[in-house]
Amino acid sequence: MNDKRPILSVENLTKVFGGVVAVDNVSFAVDEGEIFAVIGPNGAGKSTLFNMITGVLPSSSGNVYFQEKRLTRKKPYQIAQLGITRTFQNLEVFDNMTVIENVMTGAHITMKTNILTAGLRLPNVKKEEIRIMERSMEALEAVGISHLAYELADRLPYGSQRLLEIARAAISNPKLILLDEPMAGLNSEESRQLVEVILKMREQGMTFLFVEHDMETVMSISDRIVVIDNGVKIGEGTPEEIYQNPQVVAAYLGDEEEEGVEAYA
Ligand SMILES: Nc1ncnc2c1ncn2[C@@H]1O[C@H](COP(=O)(O)OP(=O)(O)OP(=O)(O)O)[C@@H](O)[C@H]1O
């Protein structure tokens, strides 16, 4: 039962901006195959934490380990090559490209060919392109939007563009996907579709770390949750444990009962 091992370990991670301690000595570990949520109010430090894990921001102190490799001071592309991809809070699709072309851009980190050989259009480049196109189509099938493959990306409804981002994140065969507020802006049908996709991908072995304000989703799909307030970790556990954690209840969940999930947003 307990043969899980951490795929990601965050150890005493700290980020100071001038006088502001945005992330203060935060530690937690995500097991392989988990759906792991990071929650907390606006300004709690969640995006800063994601940016340090993915190498977008250097940490002030502390370390991140991915499959026991230290990520500290690695560049974002090196971290991506190790098997971590992410989506962003705001949609980041290329409007003037088709859906499948968008997904194909996610494959570049694993491409065997380089720009020189690609420029010369050597035969193995063509083969590689075909392989990537096939994989992109499979990724679109996995998120349920392969029928939209040849549409321009900006013609897609918002929810489908989010699914496109997940397909693009998955195309490089990552071991861990970080999702920054994946449910933001989705209607209930789109949210349901996205939840199904995440659960299906997890069944196939993917690990997810996600930041989310939508507590209904967090509580229903997360294996474990970390709660951050003012840069400090104030709770960690299963959804049931989080509901029963007095510090977390005092900080947010008490309000939620009266005001609804908006208390988190
Ligand atoms: N580049 C920066 N320079 C200075 N301060 C920053 C910078 N980025 C973030 N901060 C500060 O760090 C703190 C944490 O911000 P962060 O964006 O990580 O919070 P968050 O939990 O992601 O919030 P939200 O839910 O609104 O996205 C805030 O006080 C913010 O103002």
Q: Is 47 in the pocket of ligand 1 (CB under 6 A)?
A: yes
Atom from ligand 1 closest to the CA of residue 213: 25
Residue 153 has pLDDT above 60, yes or no: yes
Per-residue pLDDT at 169 exceeds 70: yes
Q: At what angle do helices 158-170 and 123-142 cross, to 10 degrees?
A: 130
Residue 15: CB within 6 Å of ligand 1?
no
Predicted pLDDT at 117: 53
Burial 35-65 (b: 16+ CB within 10 A, else e): bbbbbbbeebbbbbbbbbbbbebebeebbbb
Quick check: CB of 90 below 6 Å from ligand 1? no
| Minimal-distance CA residue to ligand 1 atom 26 | 42
* Cβ–Cβ < 8 Å for 197, 18: no
Ligand 1 centroid to residue 158 C-alpha, Å: 25
Query: How many whole angstroms separate alpha carbon 42 and alpha carbon 109?
Result: 32
pLDDT, greater one: 71 or 248: 71
4 touches 33 (CB < 8 A): yes
Q: Is the pLDDT of residue 243 over 50?
A: yes
DSSP tag of 39: E
Instruction: Please give the single-letter amino acid code of residue 119.
Output: G
57 CA closest ligand 1 atom index = 1
Arithmetic mean of pLDDT over the chain:
88
**Range 156-187 burial, b when 16+ CB lie within 10 A, else e:** beebbbbbbbbbbbbbbebbbbbbbbbbbebe
Q: What is the pLDDT of residue 264?
A: 42
Which pLDDT belongs to residue 1?
A: 45
Q: Is the pLDDT of residue 148 over 80?
A: yes
Q: Which is more confidently placed, 123 or 210?
A: 210
> Do 37 and 207 form a contact (C-beta atoms < 8 A)?
no
The proportion of the chain whose per-residue pLDDT surpasses 70, expressed as a percent, equals 87
- Residue 102 is encoded by which pair of tokens? 């968008």
42 CB within 6 A, ligand 1: yes
Does the pLDDT of residue 114 top 80, yes or no? no
Q: In the structure encoding, which two tokens stand for residue 103, read together?
A: 């997904």
Mutate to test the pocket of ligand 1, among 47, 60, 86, 233 (most ligand atoms within 8 A of CB): 47
Taking only the tens place, the pLDDT of each residue in 98-111 is 999 999 998 876 55
- Other beta carbons within 10 Å of 11: 16
pLDDT score recorded for residue 122: 63
Residue 58 CB less than 6 A away from ligand 1: no
Mutate to test the pocket of ligand 1, among 16, 20, 24 (most ligand atoms within 8 A of CB): 20
Distance between first and last Cα of the chain: 36
Say how many residues make up the chain: 265
Q: Is 38 helix (H, G, I), strand (E, B) or coil?
A: strand
Token pair in block for residue 174: 């990552």
The answer to whether the CB of 88 is under 6 A from ligand 1 is no
Going from the Cα of 47 to the center of ligand 1, the distance in angstroms, rounded, reads 7
- pLDDT for 172 equals 85
CA of 218 to the centre of ligand 1 (A): 21
Q: Which residue's CA is the closest to the ligand 1 atom numbered 10?
A: 22
Instruction: Domain ranges for the chain, please list them.
Output: 1-83+177-265, 92-173
What local confidence, expressed as pLDDT, does residue 137 receive?
95
Long-range interactions of 103-106: CB distance < 8 A, separation 24+: 103/136, 103/139, 103/140, 103/164, 103/167, 103/168, 103/171, 104/132, 104/133, 104/136, 104/171, 105/168, 106/167, 106/168, 106/169, 106/170, 106/171, 106/172
Check residue 234 and give its pLDDT: 95
Q: How confident is the model at residue 263 (pLDDT cuts 50, 70, 90)?
A: very low
What pLDDT, on the 0 to 100 scale, is given for residue 128?
81
Per-residue model confidence as pLDDT tens digits over 5-30: 799 999 999 999 998 999 999 999 99
Tell the residue nearest (CA) to atom 28 of ligand 1.
43
1-83+177-265 is classed CATH 3.40.50.300: yes
Question: So what's the pLDDT on residue 255?
Answer: 54
